[in-house]
Amino acid sequence: MRIQLSLLLAFMLVSTLGIRAVQAAQQPKKPTFTIQISMPQTVIERGAPATIKATFINTSDHDIFESIGTPGRAINIKVFSGNKPVPETPYGLKAHGRDSRPFVGSVFRAAIRPGKLFKVEADLSKEYDLSKPGKYTVQAERWDSDIHQMVESNTITITVTQ
């Protein structure tokens, strides 16, 4: 009887620890940064600059490194028309590293300290084909190597007029 009771208690203990381990593993991991995007104007004329500002804030307890320089940026900006990605311009293909003849330039890494922010500004009309009037959805993203997940920003809708 004592052996059965001991085995039952051991089984209950192992089961409880196993359930807690699974629950801990299922809890979403907190990103080490946030990204916020904004645009001074969300209604623009076709062919006019569509300036977007992205603010990256380090919410972790350690430095996060950002690539600064030409080409591209570590924060990826996505533009959609409906559910379809908007085609990149020839400049956009180069800036995003998807052209066989990439930009030539210097890139260095800068440390963004905990609690500090990093700002990026871009002209979407230079990087994406916004020549058709209509509504476009814009969102930024960046890979968080600490939690192994993509972190996305808020979403902005812009309208291109004639």
Quick: pLDDT tens for 17-46.
565 655 555 667 899 999 999 999 999 999
Place of tokens 């080490």: 32
> What percentage of the chain has pLDDT greater than the value 90?
59
Tokens, residue 75 = 């924060």
* Closest alpha carbon to 39 in 29, 30, 27, 50: 50
Q: Does residue 59 have a pLDDT over 80?
A: yes
The CATH number of the structural domain formed by 29-161 is 2.60.40.2550
Predicted confidence at residue 24, as pLDDT, reads: 52
Assess whether pLDDT exceeds 80 at residue 13: no
Q: What is the sign of the dihedral through the CA atoms of 52, 118, 65 and 105?
A: positive
Length of the chain, in residues: 162
- Res 57 pLDDT > 60: yes
Q: What are phi and psi of 18, to 5 degrees?
A: -65, -40
pTM (two decimals): 0.76
Give the pLDDT mean for 40-56.
94
